Structure 1
Amino acid sequence: MTKLQNPVLPGFNADPSMIRVGDTYYIANSTFEWFPGVRLHASKDLAHWQQLPSPLSTKTLLDMKGNPASGGIWAPDLSYADGKFWLVYTDVKIVEGAFKDMTNYLTVSSKIEGPWSEPIKLNGVGFDASLFHDEDGRKYLVQQTWDHREYHHPFDGITLTEFDTTTMKLQPKTARTIYTGTEVKLVEGPHLYKINGYYYLFAAQGGTVFTHQEVVARSKTLEALSFETEPGDPFITNFDTPDNYVQKQGHGALVETPSGEWYYASLMARPWNHVNESSTDPRGWSTLGRETSIQKVEWDEAGWPRIVGGHGGTTFVDLPKDAIETTAPAHHSQHDDFTSPELDTLNWNTLRIPFTSEMGTTGDGKLTLIGKGSLANTHDLSLIARRWQAFYFDATVKVKFEPFSYQQMAGMTNFYNDRHWSFAFITWNEINGHVIEIGENNRGNYTSYLKDDAIKIPTDTEYVWFRTKARKESYSYEYSFDGENFKEIPVTLDAAILSDDYILQSYGGFFTGAFVGLAAVDYSGYQLKAEFRDFDYKELGDKLLPDGSYSWQASESRFD
C-alpha cells in the first residue's frame, strides 16, 4: 500500500489535533456532548489508526450534565513537550445566542494512555485553545476570542497569552491579539508552529460548513498583529471544489515526518444528495458528521505551505516514505454480547455523563438500562450509542421489556441530538397492551408513525429483536419475535434529518453526527428496567453498486 484513503477516521471525528512523538502519530478529536471526552487514535503510517482510551473518562475531568447539544468538548489540542503529553480542552456551556460561556482546561500525562492529571482551569476567553511550546522553553495559549457585543463581530481574532509553568497559570497581562483573519471572517481553530525562523499560524475561517477553509499566516515575532497572511488562495478549502469526494476541509493541524515530509490533518465531510436535488444547492447532507482527512504538504520557494494536488485536496494521498505499517481494523463493525462488567467505551458513548449504576449495568450477557427521561432530555437519560461510520450498515439488538404505561419505552434509536432522532421501541397502549411503535423527533416536533396501528406483541413473547437498516439517503426498522424472521416496519425515514447540514437550518449546534444506540425511557419516574442482549453493528460499505451489492470504493469525485 502506497497511499492513504480519506477519510482516515470515518464517522464523527472532527477538529483533528495531530502530533508526532518518535515514530508514532497521534490524533485527538472533538466529542462535544458525548462521553467520554476527546477521541484518541495512534498510527505509524498515517493510513491505519488504532483507537486509544479517551483521556476525559471521569466526572472529575469532565462533567457535562445539562450541556446543550453540540456543547461540551470543542477542538481539543494535543501536544508533547518536556517528556509529557499536554491536552487542552474546552467545555462549552452555551451554544446559541450572543454568549459562548466556556471553560478551557489543561491536563497532563507522561503516557498517552494516562492517567491524566487533575484539570487545571485556564480561562474562558474563547474556544479552540491550543498550547504552543516555543524553542526557548516559554509556553503560550493560543485561542479564538469571543465577543458577545452585538455591534462587534463575535470572532474577535486570535489571542496569545503566556503560560507560567511554575504556577501552572496563565498571565492575563501578557494577552495580545496576534491575528484577525481575513475578510472571510470567523477565524478560529489556531495552531502555532516555529519553522525555519518563522512562527506559522494555521487558522480556520468561514465557519465549519461548505465555506470552510484554512489560512496560514506567519511572523518573525509574537508581537501583536505581526502576522501576514499567505498570498493567493487559502491553504485548503472545498468551497470552490463542489465535485470533490472530500468536502468542508479546514480546521486541523500540521505534522512533520521523521524524514522531513509534511502532512496536514483536517476535518472533512462526505455529503450526499437526494435524487431530486441539485448537486450544489443544497450541496448535500453529511450524516456521518465531520470526519478526519490527511493531505500532503509541500513548501513553495517563498516558504509558504501548499497542499499537494491543489487547495481542494485529494481522496488518495501518498504515504510518508518512512511509514511503518500499522495494524488496525479496516472497517468498524462491532458485536457486543455484554459479558464484560464494564461498558466498552472505545465503541459506546453516553451523553454528557459516564455510564454508572444510576443508568444501568452490563455483564453476564446483558445490558440493563434503567428507564429515565425521554430522548429529548439533556439531564437524565439512559442511552448508549455508537457512531455511524459507514453509509450502509445493519444494526440488530434483542430486547426484553414489560411496560405498563405509554410513558415507558425501550428499544433502538438513530440519534443526532435531543431535537433530532427516531426510536423503534416496545411500549404499552390502551388497545393492545404491549406494542411496537416508531417515533421521530424532527426539529423538536414529535411524530408517532403507527399510532393505534402499533404492532401488537404476542402475550407469550419474552424478547423482541430490532434491526435498523441504514441505506445512505434513508433508513428503516425491522422487528422479529424469534430472532430469525424479521418483518419490515412500513416507515422509511429521511437520513438527512440526522445530518449537520439539516440541523444548521434551524439550530446553532450542528457539530456531531448520526449515532445508532439503545435506550430505555420511563418519564413516569418509576425507573422501569429494560434488558438488551447481542448488539450487532455490521458495516456493508460506502457505495451501492448497480447489482445491489456494496463496496468501499472511493474516488476523487462525489458523483462517481
Structure 2
Amino acid sequence: MKISNPVLTGFHADPSMIRVEDTYYIANSTFDWFPGVRLHESKDLVHWNTLPSPLSRVSQLDMRGNPSSGGIWAPDLSYADGKFWLVYTDVKITEGSFKDCVNYLVTATDIRGPWSDPIRINGVGFDSSLFHDDDGRKYLVQQTWDFREYHHAFNGITLTEFDTATMRLKPETARTLWDGTAVKVVEGPHIYKKDGWYYLFAAEGGTMYEHQESVARSKTLDERSFEVMPGNPFLGNYDTPDFYLQKQGHGALVDTPSGEWYYASLCARPWHHDIEPVHGVRGWCTLGRETSIQKVEWDEDGWPRVVGGRGGQRYVEAPKDAIETVAPESRDEHDEFEADALGVNWNTLRVPFTEAMGSVGGGKLTLRGQGSLCNLFELSLVARRWQAFNFDAETKVEFDPNSYMQMAGLTNYYNTLCWSWAFVTWDEKRETRVIEVAQNDFDQYTSFLKDEAIVVPPSAKAVWLRVKVRTKYYSYEYSFDGENFTEIPVKLDAKLLSDDYVNQRYGGFFTGAFVGLACVDLSGYGATADFDHFDYRELPDGE
C-alpha cells in the first residue's frame, strides 16, 4: 500500500498523531468551528475514518464571541496510564499584541468518549502538548507568547511539570527549553524520548510558505540544553516551490509496532490563476491546511531524516505491518436529515447546534434566522469542509420571507470577512420572493443581481440551489423543479476563500473554505427555512 498525500484533505491542520497498540489516531485543530477537535483513526496510515469529536459540550468549549480563527489551536492527543489525554487551547484574540489564550485538559478511557469536563491549566502560550516521561513524570510543553512590543512575540518553548496528584501544573518548575533558530516563530512543540535522548520537534517560520519543522535534542530537560539538528530543518517546502505539497511542518512523530517511523504534518496545495507567476504569488490554498504523512529514518548520529529529502514525498510507503483499514472510498455525501442529530461532517460556528439555530430530523433541517454571516454571537449556519478542488453541492429549501431582512440559502464561507451565498429573500418593490447572489469581501458587501434578482414563481413551493466549484472559480445555479437548473451569471473567484487571501489583511487565516446552509433574519422575528437535503459530490481534478 501507498500513503497518498494529503491523507486528510481539506482543513485538517496541526495534526497530533499517536499510536495505541495497532491503531493510529490523529487530532486536528478546528479553530472557531464546533464541535472542537477533529479525530480520525487508522490501522494502516493510508485509510482514515472520522471519529466523534471529543469537545461537544459548551462545558468543555464555549467560543461565543471568539474572532474568526480563534478557538482551538493545535490540540495535543496522547495516551498514558490507560487513558487518552487531550490538551487544547482556546484563543480569544487573533489580532494585535495579545492572544488571551487558555489551555485546558480533558481525558477519556475510550477515544469515542465520554470525555471529561476540562481542567484549566494555564495561559502562558498556545500549541501546548503533554509529554509523558518514562519515569512517570509529566510535563506541559508549549509555545510562549510575549505581548511586549520590544520582544519577539514567540518567546521560545517552555516546559512545566504537571502534577497528576493534583492535576495541576507546578509553575515554579517552568523553564525555557529552547529559543528556536534564527528562522523565528517557534511553536507547535512535541517531545519524544529515544535512546536516552529527548527530541524536541517544533514548527518555525510561520504557517505559510516559509513554514518548516525543526528538531533539537538534549540528554536532559534542563533550561536551554537543546542543540539543533545538523542540516536543520527536518521538513519544509520553502525551497521546493514547484512540489505538489507546500507549507509542510507542525506535526507529530509516531513509531509502528515493528519499529518504522512516520511524521504527520500540516501541508497545503496551492493553485494559481493563469496570469500569476507561480513563484511570486505561490498560490491560493482554498482547501486550507491539510494533513500529510512522511516516512522517517534515523541517521547514524541519531537524527531523524525525512525519506526522500526534507521536502517530503507525495506518495509514501505504508508501514510493513499495516493492517488494511476499511474506510469510505469516496467523500461524497447525501444527507436527507433523517437523524435527530447532525452527522460528523457538519459544523457550526463557536457554539453547538441548538434550538436557537433550529432543529434536525424527520427528513428536514430547519434553520431559524438569526444574525448575518458576519455575526460572532448568533448565527444559524451549518457547513462542511471543502475537501476537493472540484465539486458540486446542492440543497432544496422552502422559505417564505416577508422582508428583505430575511434570507436563506446555500453559502460558501471562509470566515466572517470573506464569504458568498445564493439565497431566497423578499423584494418589496415587486412584492415577490427572489433569488440573489451576494459576496462579502473583507466586509465589502456586494449584491450582484440587485433589481434583476430572479423571481421565484408563486407556484414554486421550494427552490433548489447548487454551487459548482471548479478550483479557481465557482458559480451558483437554481431550479424550481429539481431537474432543470439554470446557471446564475455570476462568476466568483475562489481565491477569496483561501488562507492566502485572508492572510493579506487579517491575522486569523487558519481554516479553509466551507460549504453549507444558512438562514438570516435581521428583523428579529426568527423566520424559519426548511432544507430538504444536502448533496456533496466531488469531481476529478480538471473537470
Class of the TM-score when normalised by the shorter of the 2 chains: over 0.9
Q: Find the aligned partners of 2:243 and 2:319 in 1 and give their Cα distance.
A: 23
3-state SS of the aligned residue for 2:489?
strand
| Count, aligned residues | 542
| Aligned twin of 1:137 | 136
| Aligned twin of 1:293 | 292
TM-score after normalising by structure 1: 0.96
Any idea what the Cα deviations from partners look like across 1:312-355, whole Å, max 9, x if unmatched? Answer: 001000010000000111231111001111111x1100000000
After superposition, residues 307-386 of structure 1 pair within 5 angstroms as: 307-344=306-343, 346-386=344-384
Q: Find the aligned partners of 1:288 and 1:264 in 2 and give their Cα distance.
A: 21
3-state SS of the aligned residue for 1:37?
coil
| Aligned twin of 2:282 | 283
| Aligned twin of 1:397 | 395
Q: Find the aligned partners of 2:284 and 2:341 in 1 and give their Cα distance.
A: 35
CA contact (8 A) 2:215 2:232 kept: no
Q: Find the aligned partners of 2:187 and 2:510 in 1 and give their Cα distance.
A: 15
CA contact (8 A) 1:128 1:144 kept: yes
- Tell me how large the CA RMSD over aligned residues is: 0.6
3-state SS of the aligned residue for 2:354?
coil
Structure 1 unaligned blocks of 5 or more: 545-549, 551-560
| Aligned twin of 1:209 | 208
Correspondence for 1:429 among 427, 430, 447: 427
CA contact (8 A) 1:241 1:312 kept: yes
3-state SS of the aligned residue for 1:526?
coil
Structure 2 unaligned blocks of 5 or more: none
TM-score after normalising by structure 2: 0.99
3-state SS of the aligned residue for 1:417?
coil
| Aligned twin of 2:385 | 387
CA contact (8 A) 1:246 1:270 kept: yes
Q: Find the aligned partners of 1:339 and 1:320 in 2 and give their Cα distance.
A: 39
3-state SS of the aligned residue for 1:496?
helix
After superposition, residues 26-425 of structure 1 pair within 5 angstroms as: 26-344=25-343, 346-425=344-423
Q: Find the aligned partners of 2:52 and 2:454 in 1 and give their Cα distance.
A: 41
3-state SS of the aligned residue for 1:503?
helix
3-state SS of the aligned residue for 2:500?
helix
Q: Find the aligned partners of 2:53 and 2:361 in 1 and give their Cα distance.
A: 22
3-state SS of the aligned residue for 2:496?
helix
Q: Find the aligned partners of 1:91 and 1:325 in 2 and give their Cα distance.
A: 36
Q: Find the aligned partners of 1:534 and 1:191 in 2 and give their Cα distance.
A: 42
Amino acid at match of 1:201: L
CA contact (8 A) 1:478 1:488 kept: yes
CA contact (8 A) 2:64 2:376 kept: yes
3-state SS of the aligned residue for 2:248?
coil
CA contact (8 A) 2:196 2:219 kept: yes
Q: Find the aligned partners of 2:2 and 2:459 in 1 and give their Cα distance.
A: 56
3-state SS of the aligned residue for 1:531?
strand
Q: CA deviation at 1:56?
A: 0.1
CA contact (8 A) 1:431 1:452 kept: no
Q: CA deviation at 1:461?
A: 1.1
Any idea what the Cα deviations from partners look like across 1:266-295, whole Å, max 9, x if unmatched? Answer: 000000000111111100000000000000
Q: CA deviation at 1:430?
A: 2.3
Which aligned segments of 4 or more residues in structure 1 are displaced greater than 6 angstroms? Answer: none
Is 1:511 aligned with 2:529? no
Q: CA deviation at 1:232?
A: 1.2
| Aligned twin of 2:484 | 485
Any idea what the Cα deviations from partners look like across 1:392-449, whole Å, max 9, x if unmatched? Answer: 0000100011111111100000000000000100001123321000010001110000
Any idea what the Cα deviations from partners look like across 1:7-45, whole Å, max 9, x if unmatched? Answer: 000000000000000000000000000000000000000
Q: Find the aligned partners of 1:387 and 1:292 in 2 and give their Cα distance.
A: 14
Any idea what the Cα deviations from partners look like across 1:37-66, whole Å, max 9, x if unmatched? Answer: 000000000000010000000101111000
Q: CA deviation at 1:242?
A: 0.4
| Aligned twin of 2:7 | 8
3-state SS of the aligned residue for 1:501?
helix
3-state SS of the aligned residue for 1:281?
helix
Q: Find the aligned partners of 1:349 and 1:453 in 2 and give their Cα distance.
A: 33
